[in-house]
């Protein structure tokens, strides 16, 4: 009996320390039954042990050490093994899935016809070799012209020409590396001859076939290659030369007259080619590049070959795309084609930002040496409501050292951003979607979310802990959606679209509630919100050289905050205390919301007016992407009703709450039993119906047309399911709520330090182990996002003073600085036709 009481007391102590809630009254009766009680105790003590030792401060120190170690590792790896991404592209890789080739350490762009034509304009390309090279030739020209068919005699030269772009691609039949091939190469070295800009060669199977795989033939092959390699080097002085290593064969299905072409023989010929071509290196490098990646791809697909010798079309296409990336990436510089790209030099603003952060670090060091240590970090307010927990003691105002310390930390973080996504330090890989890469991580995070559950401080509908939890799990789902490339799967895409709409719904709900209850329309509050929403993005626009609209969600929530503020602030300003005096004022709020709805509908059905309004300089600088506002139009229109839905919901809820229609006590259902059961049933049916509809969608365009009108049903269904039962309102996931507090930073930071190539690919910190790489990069990414949220809070206290006159002066200075930056960036842009 004493043992049981001790166990109960331990459980009570653990629960009290973790949640601050009193232990359940029936602890002895319900929990003290052997295994069940021990499970509760282990669960509670386990959480306490984890929270005690694994703090966010310790996590950040570990992440900093990890980054430094990874920098040393990658620098050493490139020094000893070579860091030429072109070499990686041509030499090795792996299949992510059927027909999806991933080069080692870099991203391969999938070229479209117009891109290939632009790259090869006024160029001559020559393919020289046997039937396998002819296959590669056809796959190459099909990138340029997908309609081109494989026509022409097998053992003759074939020509392709695109006169509109002055592109000429030839296949020259030279099945053996012999004197005939050498003479052709010599003809291209003569003065005045039409030299190829790109030359692709390969031969061996005919030498094996004609000479029965004899050793003498192999020796002669080496001699011939040695004689040829000098001419290849000369041709390479004026263009690019590629020697394609021999692909494997499927010996079981080879015809009788090809049985001597074995994989063992092909390996001997490949080794001979590598030895001869590497021996011609000058200054440690040969101008003739070896193409081995297509051979590696063929190892997995040759079993699909019809005759055992020639590759399936999908594998040939991989080889052709590898060549296209090697030739064109350095010319067109596609963001998702990191292979073979040289580093772009930092622009003026990037250099100035580096000097600014460096100067801040110097000032910080000076203050530190002088011993000016007066700084206390403020409690960060929530972006939506800006409500703060007041500290028990008066906060010491930040000293002059504080902002420089924050800028110093920000400078270090921005250096990491630049190294990840603008410098050639870490590797990048492309995304590839499978159901397991999306749904398995999803299960993991929801298990963790359930494990870290605590009692809510209050049981109101959409209380603070619950909204943080909501933002947190939505953000985690969106992150998994992005890194897994799940946008390719339409049902997942449509459900994630609802999550984005739910964020905007919360924006409308949160800001409306604040203005309705507090009535604070002051400039200080507006500037605080705008600063917290935009600080990180504006810094990234400069450091990463990206337009504001690239981080589309921030312009979206900033725009809607301004709209909400304007709607609530214009005359007449109707607040809750005003409406309490007369119910007529409620109709005034509804009239304002109706006016906002008309405003939204007008712009939604007047694309021309919308584009003209947002194309005016300097407003256009905020909303243009690649010289067009189409992306802004698409994002704005897709969730155009989400914010007003949130505002209307907040209005109805707050009115019902004031009139005490709702039961919001702990453990109490929100409505009467009949109404609660009916609404819960309706909500579940809505969820299932939407999922069925999303699964039946054929195209994204079709689904997106319906999305603005039906997304609110899913959002309301979730709110009702989460809030109608009293026990559901009384608990929340502290795991999800923690992420919810930094959801904005997580969304923005993922662009460059978790994903790569501006979200097109995945950052690779640990090559060769995708699972470990995701774990390490995610750990560092989350720590960085949390630190940025604290830095933003620290700087907001300094940059946005409460004194109105000082604030106006700061705004004037910021406006002037912004105008200068806009003018500098405008002057730095190339003029049309230049």
Q: Which residues are known to be catalytic?
A: 131, 307, 310
Helix (H, G, I), strand (E, B) or coil at 437: helix
**Residue written as tokens 């995701």?**
774
Q: What are the C-alpha distances in Å from 87 to residues 128, 230, 248, 326?
A: 22, 21, 21, 9
Contact in structure between 655 and 724 (CB atoms under 8 Å): no
CB-side neighbour CA atoms (13 Å) of 394 = 2
Query: Residue 587: CB partners within 8 Å, gap ≥ 6?
Result: none
Structure tokens at 96: 């992510």
Structure tokens at 594: 């109706």
Closest CA to 411 of 342, 344, 365: 365
Query: From CA 142, how far away is CA 134, in angstroms rounded?
Result: 12
Query: From CA 692, how far away is CA 670, in angstroms rounded?
Result: 29
Contact in structure between 618 and 821 (CB atoms under 8 Å): no
DSSP 116-157: HHHHHTT-EEEEEESHHHHHHHHHHHHHH-TT----S-TTS-
The alpha carbons of the chain give a radius of gyration, in whole angstroms, of: 32
Structure tokens at 639: 């969730």
**Residue written as tokens 């009535």?**
519
Structure tokens at 222: 């080496």
Contact in structure between 668 and 726 (CB atoms under 8 Å): yes
Query: From CA 349, how far away is CA 39, in angstroms rounded?
Result: 58
Q: What are the C-alpha distances in Å from 105 to residues 76, 153, 425, 427?
A: 15, 40, 11, 5
Q: Is the peptide bond before 387 cis (omega within 30 degrees of 0)?
A: no
* Cβ density class 177-204: b for 16+ within 10 Å, e for less: bbeebbebbbebbeeeeebbebbbbbbb
> Which DSSP helix (H) or strand (E) runs through 268?
helix 263-279
Query: Residue 603: CB partners within 8 Å, gap ≥ 6?
Result: 609, 610, 636, 640
Q: Alpha helices, DSSP H only, in 152-214?
A: 179-189, 205-210
Query: From CA 159, how far away is CA 482, in angstroms rounded?
Result: 43
Q: What are the C-alpha distances in Å from 133 to residues 157, 268, 400, 503?
A: 12, 19, 69, 54
Q: What are the C-alpha distances in Å from 291 to residues 24, 91, 222, 271?
A: 70, 6, 18, 13
Break the chain down into helix, strand, coil percent, rounded to 5. 65, 5, 30
> Which DSSP helix (H) or strand (E) runs through 255?
none
Structure tokens at 411: 């400078």
Query: Residue 732: CB partners within 8 Å, gap ≥ 6?
Result: 453, 454, 456, 465, 466, 468, 469
Q: Exposed (0-12), middle (13-18) or buried (19+): which is 396, by Cβ within 10 Å?
A: exposed
**Residue written as tokens 């802990």?**
465
Query: Residue 29: CB partners within 8 Å, gap ≥ 6?
Result: none
Query: From CA 492, how far away is CA 168, in angstroms rounded?
Result: 44
HEC-encoded secondary structure of 321-373: HHHHHHHHHHHHCCCCCCCCCCCCCCCHHHHHHHHHHHHHHHHHHHHHHHCCC
DSSP 676-744: HHHHHHHHHHHHHHHHHHHHH---HHHHHHHHHHHHHHHHHHHHHHHHSSHHHHTEEEHHHHHHHHTHH
């Amino acid at each position: 009996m004493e043992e049981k009481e001790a166990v109960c007391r331990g459980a009570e102590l653990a629960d009290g320390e973790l949640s601050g809630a009193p232990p359940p009254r029936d602890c002895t009766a319900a929990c003290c039954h052997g295994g069940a009680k021990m499970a509760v105790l282990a669960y509670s003590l386990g959480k306490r042990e984890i929270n005690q030792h694994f703090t966010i401060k310790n996590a950040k120190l570990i992440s900093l050490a990890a980054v430094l170690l990874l920098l040393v590792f990658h620098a050493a790896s490139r020094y000893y093994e070579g860091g030429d991404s072109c070499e990686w592209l041509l030499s090795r890789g792996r299949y992510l899935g059927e027909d999806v080739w991933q080069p080692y350490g870099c991203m391969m762009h999938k070229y479209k016809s117009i891109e290939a034509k632009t790259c090869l304009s006024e160029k001559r390309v020559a393919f020289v070799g046997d039937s396998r090279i002819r296959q590669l030739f056809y796959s190459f020209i099909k990138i340029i012209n997908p309609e081109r068919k494989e026509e022409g005699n097998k053992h003759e030269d074939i020509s392709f020409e695109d006169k509109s772009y002055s592109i000429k691609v030839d296949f020259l039949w030279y099945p053996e590396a012999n004197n005939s091939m050498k003479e052709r190469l010599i003809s291209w070295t003569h003065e005045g001859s039409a030299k190829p800009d790109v030359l692709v060669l390969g031969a061996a199977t005919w030498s094996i076939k004609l000479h029965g795989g004899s050793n003498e033939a192999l020796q002669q092959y080496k001699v011939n290659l040695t004689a040829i390699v000098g001419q290849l080097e000369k041709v390479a002085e004026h263009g690019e030369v590629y020697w394609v290593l021999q692909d494997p064969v499927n010996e079981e299905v080879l015809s009788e007259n090809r049985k001597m072409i074995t994989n063992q023989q092909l390996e001997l010929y490949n080794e001979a080619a590598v030895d001869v071509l590497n021996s011609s290196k000058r200054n440690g490098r040969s101008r003739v590049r070896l193409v081995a990646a297509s051979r590696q791809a063929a190892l997995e697909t040759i079993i699909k070959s019809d005759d055992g010798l020639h590759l399936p079309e999908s594998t040939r296409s991989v080889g052709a795309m590898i060549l296209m990336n090697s030739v064109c990436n350095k010319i067109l510089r596609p963001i998702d084609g990191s292979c073979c790209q040289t580093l772009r030099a930092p622009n003026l603003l990037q250099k100035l930002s580096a000097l600014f952060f460096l100067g801040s670090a110097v000032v910080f060091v000076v203050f530190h040496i002088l011993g000016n240590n007066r700084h206390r970090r403020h409690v960060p307010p929530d972006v939506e409501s800006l409500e703060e927990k007041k500290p028990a003691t008066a906060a010491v105002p930040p000293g002059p050292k504080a902002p420089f310390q924050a800028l110093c930390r920000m400078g270090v973080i921005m250096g990491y951003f630049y190294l990840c996504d603008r410098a050639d330090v870490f590797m990048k890989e492309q995304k590839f979607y499978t159901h397991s890469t999306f749904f398995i991580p999803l299960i993991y995070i929801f298990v963790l979310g359930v494990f870290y559950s605590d009692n809510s401080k209050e049981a109101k509908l959409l209380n603070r802990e619950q909204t943080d939890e909501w933002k947190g799990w939505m953000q985690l789902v969106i992150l998994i959606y992005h890194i897994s490339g799940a946008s390719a799967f339409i049902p997942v895409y449509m459900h994630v679209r609802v999550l984005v709409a739910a964020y905007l719904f919360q924006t409308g709900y949160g800001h409306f509630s604040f203005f309705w209850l507090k009535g604070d329309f002051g400039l200080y509050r507006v500037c605080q919100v705008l600063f917290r929403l935009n600080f990180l993005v504006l810094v990234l626009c400069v450091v990463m050289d990206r337009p504001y609209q690239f981080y589309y969600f921030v312009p979206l929530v900033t725009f809607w905050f301004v709209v909400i503020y304007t709607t609530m602030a214009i005359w007449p300003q109707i607040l809750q205390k005003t409406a309490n005096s007369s119910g007529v004022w409620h109709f005034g709020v509804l009239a304002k919301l109706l006016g906002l709805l008309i405003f939204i509908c007008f712009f939604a059905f007047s694309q021309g007016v919308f584009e003209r309004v947002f194309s005016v300089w300097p407003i256009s600088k905020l909303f243009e992407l690649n010289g067009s506002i189409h992306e802004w139009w698409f994002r704005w229109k897709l969730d155009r009703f989400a914010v007003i839905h949130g505002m209307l919901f907040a209005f109805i809820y707050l009115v019902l709450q004031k009139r005490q229609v709702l039961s919001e006590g702990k453990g109490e259902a929100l409505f009467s039993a009949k109404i609660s059961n009916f609404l819960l049933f309706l909500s579940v049916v809505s969820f299932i119906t939407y999922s069925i509809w999303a699964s039946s969608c054929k195209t994204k365009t079709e689904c997106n047309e319906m999305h603005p009108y039906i997304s609110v049903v899913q959002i309301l269904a979730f709110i009702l399911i989460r809030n109608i039962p009293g026990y559901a309102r009384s608990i929340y996931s502290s795991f999800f709520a923690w992420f919810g507090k930094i959801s904005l930073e997580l969304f923005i930071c993922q662009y460059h330090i978790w994903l790569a190539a501006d979200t097109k690919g995945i950052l690779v910190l640990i090559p060769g182990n995708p699972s470990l790489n995701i774990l390490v990069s995610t750990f560092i990414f989350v720590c960085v996002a949390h630190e940025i949220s604290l830095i933003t809070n620290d700087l907001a206290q300094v940059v946005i003073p409460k004194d109105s006159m000082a604030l106006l002066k700061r705004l004037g200075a910021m406006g002037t600085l912004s105008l200068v930056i806009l003018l500098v960036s405008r002057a730095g842009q190339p003029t049309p036709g230049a």
